[in-house]
Structure 1
Amino acid sequence: MESRISKALERHHSGYNCCQAVACTYSDLVGVPEDELFRMAEGFGAGMGGMESTCGAVSGAVLLAGLKSSGGMQQRTKSATYQLSKEIVEEFRRKNDAIVCKDLKGVDTGKVLRSCDGCIEDACELVEQILFQEK
Protein backbone atom coordinates (compact mmCIF):
# COMPACT_ATOMS: atom_id res chain seq x y z
CA MET A 1 0.00 0.00 0.00
CA GLU A 2 1.24 3.45 -0.82
CA SER A 3 1.44 5.62 2.28
CA ARG A 4 -1.45 8.00 2.86
CA ILE A 5 0.26 10.14 5.49
CA SER A 6 0.36 13.21 3.25
CA LYS A 7 -3.39 12.87 2.59
CA ALA A 8 -4.07 12.76 6.34
CA LEU A 9 -1.95 15.87 6.86
CA GLU A 10 -3.81 17.66 4.04
CA ARG A 11 -7.09 16.86 5.77
CA HIS A 12 -5.75 18.18 9.08
CA HIS A 13 -4.49 21.39 7.48
CA SER A 14 -7.91 21.91 5.88
CA GLY A 15 -9.75 21.76 9.22
CA TYR A 16 -10.21 18.11 10.17
CA ASN A 17 -9.28 17.39 13.77
CA CYS A 18 -6.51 14.84 14.39
CA CYS A 19 -8.89 11.92 14.82
CA GLN A 20 -10.87 12.82 11.70
CA ALA A 21 -7.69 13.28 9.66
CA VAL A 22 -6.49 9.78 10.51
CA ALA A 23 -9.80 7.91 10.35
CA CYS A 24 -11.14 9.56 7.20
CA THR A 25 -7.95 8.88 5.28
CA TYR A 26 -8.66 5.15 5.38
CA SER A 27 -12.47 5.23 5.04
CA ASP A 28 -12.41 3.21 1.83
CA LEU A 29 -10.44 0.43 3.49
CA VAL A 30 -12.98 -0.05 6.28
CA GLY A 31 -16.06 0.36 4.10
CA VAL A 32 -17.46 3.43 5.85
CA PRO A 33 -18.18 6.60 3.88
CA GLU A 34 -15.85 9.46 4.75
CA ASP A 35 -18.67 11.77 5.82
CA GLU A 36 -19.86 9.18 8.35
CA LEU A 37 -16.36 8.67 9.76
CA PHE A 38 -15.96 12.45 9.91
CA ARG A 39 -19.05 12.69 12.12
CA MET A 40 -18.06 9.66 14.25
CA ALA A 41 -14.59 11.08 14.91
CA GLU A 42 -15.58 14.68 15.62
CA GLY A 43 -15.81 14.34 19.41
CA PHE A 44 -12.35 12.80 19.71
CA GLY A 45 -10.43 15.90 18.63
CA ALA A 46 -8.07 17.85 20.87
CA GLY A 47 -7.79 14.94 23.26
CA MET A 48 -11.44 13.86 23.59
CA GLY A 49 -13.62 16.89 23.06
CA GLY A 50 -10.93 19.47 23.78
CA MET A 51 -10.11 17.98 27.17
CA GLU A 52 -6.48 17.28 26.22
CA SER A 53 -6.85 13.61 27.15
CA THR A 54 -6.08 10.71 24.77
CA CYS A 55 -4.51 11.95 21.54
CA GLY A 56 -7.05 12.26 18.72
CA ALA A 57 -4.69 10.72 16.18
CA VAL A 58 -4.35 7.62 18.36
CA SER A 59 -8.12 7.56 18.84
CA GLY A 60 -8.57 7.64 15.06
CA ALA A 61 -6.23 4.68 14.65
CA VAL A 62 -8.09 2.71 17.33
CA LEU A 63 -11.42 3.59 15.70
CA LEU A 64 -10.09 2.08 12.48
CA ALA A 65 -8.98 -1.05 14.35
CA GLY A 66 -12.55 -1.63 15.47
CA LEU A 67 -13.93 -1.08 12.00
CA LYS A 68 -11.36 -3.34 10.42
CA SER A 69 -11.78 -6.31 12.74
CA SER A 70 -15.48 -6.07 13.51
CA GLY A 71 -17.62 -8.78 12.03
CA GLY A 72 -20.86 -7.12 13.03
CA MET A 73 -22.96 -7.40 16.15
CA GLN A 74 -23.36 -11.16 15.86
CA GLN A 75 -19.66 -11.94 15.88
CA ARG A 76 -17.31 -11.82 18.82
CA THR A 77 -14.40 -9.71 17.66
CA LYS A 78 -13.58 -7.74 20.80
CA SER A 79 -10.48 -9.78 21.51
CA ALA A 80 -9.03 -9.15 18.05
CA THR A 81 -9.94 -5.47 18.19
CA TYR A 82 -8.43 -5.08 21.65
CA GLN A 83 -5.21 -6.73 20.49
CA LEU A 84 -4.89 -4.44 17.46
CA SER A 85 -5.75 -1.40 19.58
CA LYS A 86 -3.23 -2.36 22.27
CA GLU A 87 -0.51 -2.79 19.66
CA ILE A 88 -1.25 0.64 18.16
CA VAL A 89 -1.35 2.41 21.54
CA GLU A 90 1.75 0.70 22.92
CA GLU A 91 3.78 1.44 19.81
CA PHE A 92 2.63 5.06 19.73
CA ARG A 93 3.59 5.44 23.41
CA ARG A 94 6.98 3.81 22.75
CA LYS A 95 7.69 6.27 19.95
CA ASN A 96 6.48 9.38 21.76
CA ASP A 97 6.66 8.66 25.52
CA ALA A 98 2.98 9.60 25.86
CA ILE A 99 -0.50 9.12 24.45
CA VAL A 100 -2.17 12.04 26.23
CA CYS A 101 -2.62 15.18 24.13
CA LYS A 102 -1.54 17.68 26.79
CA ASP A 103 1.59 15.63 27.54
CA LEU A 104 2.46 15.39 23.84
CA LYS A 105 1.96 19.16 23.48
CA GLY A 106 3.89 19.93 26.69
CA VAL A 107 1.03 21.89 28.24
CA ASP A 108 2.22 21.37 31.82
CA THR A 109 5.94 20.89 31.20
CA GLY A 110 6.68 23.31 28.37
CA LYS A 111 8.43 20.44 26.59
CA VAL A 112 6.67 19.44 23.38
CA LEU A 113 7.08 15.71 22.80
CA ARG A 114 5.30 15.65 19.42
CA SER A 115 3.31 18.10 17.30
CA CYS A 116 -0.18 17.30 16.06
CA ASP A 117 1.25 16.75 12.57
CA GLY A 118 3.82 14.38 14.03
CA CYS A 119 1.13 12.49 15.95
CA ILE A 120 -0.92 12.14 12.78
CA GLU A 121 2.14 10.89 10.90
CA ASP A 122 2.88 8.32 13.61
CA ALA A 123 -0.74 7.16 13.90
CA CYS A 124 -1.02 6.74 10.12
CA GLU A 125 2.24 4.84 10.00
CA LEU A 126 0.93 2.46 12.65
CA VAL A 127 -2.42 2.08 10.85
CA GLU A 128 -0.58 1.17 7.69
CA GLN A 129 1.81 -1.24 9.42
CA ILE A 130 -0.57 -2.91 11.86
CA LEU A 131 -3.97 -2.77 10.18
CA PHE A 132 -3.37 -2.66 6.45
CA GLN A 133 0.05 -4.06 5.73
CA GLU A 134 -0.08 -6.55 2.90
CA LYS A 135 1.15 -9.86 4.22
Structure 2
Amino acid sequence: MTKQEKAIELHDRGCNCAQAVACAFAEEIGVPEETLFAAAEGFGLGMGGMEATCGAVSGAVMLAGFKNSCADPKNPKTKAATYQLTREITRQFAEKNHALVCKELKGVETGVVLRSCPDCIRDAVAIAEKVLQ
Protein backbone atom coordinates (compact mmCIF):
# COMPACT_ATOMS: atom_id res chain seq x y z
CA MET A 1 0.00 0.00 0.00
CA THR A 2 1.36 3.43 -0.92
CA LYS A 3 1.45 6.28 1.57
CA GLN A 4 -1.28 8.03 -0.42
CA GLU A 5 -3.50 4.94 -0.20
CA LYS A 6 -2.76 4.59 3.52
CA ALA A 7 -3.63 8.26 4.13
CA ILE A 8 -6.93 7.95 2.25
CA GLU A 9 -7.78 4.77 4.16
CA LEU A 10 -7.11 6.57 7.45
CA HIS A 11 -9.27 9.50 6.34
CA ASP A 12 -12.06 7.14 5.30
CA ARG A 13 -11.89 5.57 8.79
CA GLY A 14 -12.45 8.97 10.43
CA CYS A 15 -9.03 10.56 10.82
CA ASN A 16 -8.94 14.22 9.94
CA CYS A 17 -6.83 15.39 7.00
CA ALA A 18 -3.79 16.31 9.11
CA GLN A 19 -3.89 13.00 10.98
CA ALA A 20 -4.24 11.04 7.74
CA VAL A 21 -1.16 12.69 6.22
CA ALA A 22 0.99 12.49 9.35
CA CYS A 23 0.06 8.92 10.29
CA ALA A 24 0.83 7.64 6.79
CA PHE A 25 4.51 8.37 7.53
CA ALA A 26 4.68 6.79 11.02
CA GLU A 27 6.86 3.86 10.02
CA GLU A 28 9.18 5.94 7.83
CA ILE A 29 9.92 8.58 10.46
CA GLY A 30 9.96 6.16 13.39
CA VAL A 31 7.22 7.84 15.38
CA PRO A 32 4.29 5.78 16.71
CA GLU A 33 1.09 6.30 14.74
CA GLU A 34 -0.71 7.08 18.01
CA THR A 35 1.72 9.94 18.71
CA LEU A 36 1.23 11.44 15.26
CA PHE A 37 -2.54 10.97 15.56
CA ALA A 38 -2.61 12.90 18.84
CA ALA A 39 -0.20 15.62 17.67
CA ALA A 40 -2.18 16.27 14.48
CA GLU A 41 -5.67 16.17 15.98
CA GLY A 42 -6.14 19.93 16.35
CA PHE A 43 -5.05 20.73 12.80
CA GLY A 44 -7.95 19.15 10.91
CA LEU A 45 -10.49 21.10 8.89
CA GLY A 46 -8.20 24.09 8.62
CA MET A 47 -6.94 24.38 12.21
CA GLY A 48 -9.63 23.06 14.51
CA GLY A 49 -12.52 23.54 12.10
CA MET A 50 -11.76 27.21 11.41
CA GLU A 51 -11.18 26.49 7.70
CA ALA A 52 -7.83 28.30 7.83
CA THR A 53 -4.56 26.61 6.71
CA CYS A 54 -5.36 23.26 5.10
CA GLY A 55 -4.97 20.42 7.58
CA ALA A 56 -3.34 18.17 4.99
CA VAL A 57 -0.62 20.80 4.53
CA SER A 58 -0.31 21.16 8.31
CA GLY A 59 0.19 17.41 8.59
CA ALA A 60 2.97 17.53 6.01
CA VAL A 61 4.62 20.47 7.79
CA MET A 62 4.44 18.57 11.07
CA LEU A 63 6.34 15.76 9.37
CA ALA A 64 9.08 18.22 8.40
CA GLY A 65 9.69 18.88 12.08
CA PHE A 66 9.66 15.22 13.05
CA LYS A 67 11.97 14.33 10.17
CA ASN A 68 14.43 17.24 10.43
CA SER A 69 14.48 18.58 13.98
CA CYS A 70 17.44 17.96 16.26
CA ALA A 71 14.82 17.55 19.04
CA ASP A 72 17.04 19.39 21.49
CA PRO A 73 15.28 22.33 23.16
CA LYS A 74 18.55 23.36 24.82
CA ASN A 75 20.24 23.80 21.44
CA PRO A 76 17.58 24.42 18.78
CA LYS A 77 19.88 24.48 15.77
CA THR A 78 17.63 22.98 13.07
CA LYS A 79 14.85 25.57 12.88
CA ALA A 80 16.14 27.34 9.77
CA ALA A 81 16.40 24.11 7.80
CA THR A 82 12.96 22.97 8.97
CA TYR A 83 11.49 26.35 8.00
CA GLN A 84 13.00 25.90 4.54
CA LEU A 85 11.33 22.49 4.21
CA THR A 86 8.06 24.05 5.39
CA ARG A 87 8.27 26.81 2.80
CA GLU A 88 8.95 24.26 0.08
CA ILE A 89 6.01 22.05 1.11
CA THR A 90 3.63 25.01 1.19
CA ARG A 91 4.99 26.47 -2.05
CA GLN A 92 4.49 23.25 -3.95
CA PHE A 93 1.02 22.70 -2.50
CA ALA A 94 -0.10 26.26 -3.31
CA GLU A 95 1.39 26.03 -6.80
CA LYS A 96 -0.55 22.84 -7.51
CA ASN A 97 -3.83 23.85 -5.87
CA HIS A 98 -3.85 27.67 -6.09
CA ALA A 99 -4.56 27.99 -2.35
CA LEU A 100 -3.39 26.96 1.12
CA VAL A 101 -6.57 27.90 2.97
CA CYS A 102 -9.17 25.20 3.58
CA LYS A 103 -12.24 27.33 2.83
CA GLU A 104 -10.69 28.52 -0.44
CA LEU A 105 -9.80 24.96 -1.45
CA LYS A 106 -13.34 23.81 -0.61
CA GLY A 107 -14.99 26.81 -2.28
CA VAL A 108 -16.94 27.79 0.83
CA GLU A 109 -17.41 31.43 -0.21
CA THR A 110 -17.14 31.12 -3.99
CA GLY A 111 -18.95 27.84 -4.62
CA VAL A 112 -15.97 26.77 -6.74
CA VAL A 113 -14.13 23.79 -5.27
CA LEU A 114 -10.45 24.06 -6.11
CA ARG A 115 -9.54 20.67 -4.62
CA SER A 116 -11.40 18.02 -2.63
CA CYS A 117 -10.18 16.98 0.81
CA PRO A 118 -9.07 13.52 -0.42
CA ASP A 119 -7.14 15.15 -3.26
CA CYS A 120 -5.53 17.63 -0.84
CA ILE A 121 -4.47 14.65 1.29
CA ARG A 122 -3.00 12.87 -1.74
CA ASP A 123 -1.17 16.03 -2.81
CA ALA A 124 0.23 16.70 0.68
CA VAL A 125 1.49 13.12 0.95
CA ALA A 126 3.12 13.23 -2.49
CA ILE A 127 4.79 16.56 -1.74
CA ALA A 128 6.01 15.37 1.67
CA GLU A 129 7.45 12.22 0.08
CA LYS A 130 9.35 14.35 -2.41
CA VAL A 131 10.50 17.19 -0.15
CA LEU A 132 11.35 15.08 2.91
CA GLN A 133 13.20 12.24 1.18
TM-score tier after normalising by the smaller chain length: over 0.9
Q: Distance in 2 between matches of 1:131 and 1:65?
A: 7
Give secondary structure in 2 for the equivalent of 1:114.
coil
Letter matched to residue 55 of structure 1: C
The range that moved more, 25-34 or 5-14, is: 25-34
Shift of 1:56: 0.3
Q: Which digits, 9 at most, give the CA deviation of each residue in 1:1-34, with x for residues without a partner?
A: x841011000000000000000001012222110
Structure 1 stretches of at least 4 aligned residues deviating more than 4 Å after TM superposition: none
Q: Give the gaps of 5 or more residues in structure 2.
A: none
Q: Distance in 1 between matches of 2:88 and 2:14?
A: 28
Q: Distance in 1 between matches of 2:101 and 2:76?
A: 31
**Given that residues 19 and 41 in structure 1 are in contact (C-alpha distance below 8 angstroms), is that contact kept between their aligned partners in structure 2?**
yes
The range that moved more, 117-126 or 24-33, is: 24-33
Cα RMSD, aligned residues only:
1.0
Q: Distance in 2 between matches of 1:15 and 1:36?
A: 16
Q: Identity rate of aligned residues, in percent?
A: 58
Letter matched to residue 112 of structure 1: V
Partner of 1:113: 114
Partner of 1:47: 46
Q: Distance in 2 between matches of 1:31 and 1:75?
A: 20
Q: Give the gaps of 5 or more residues in structure 1.
A: none
Q: Which digits, 9 at most, give the CA deviation of each residue in 1:39-91, with x for residues without a partner?
A: 10000000000000000000000000011001121340001100100000000
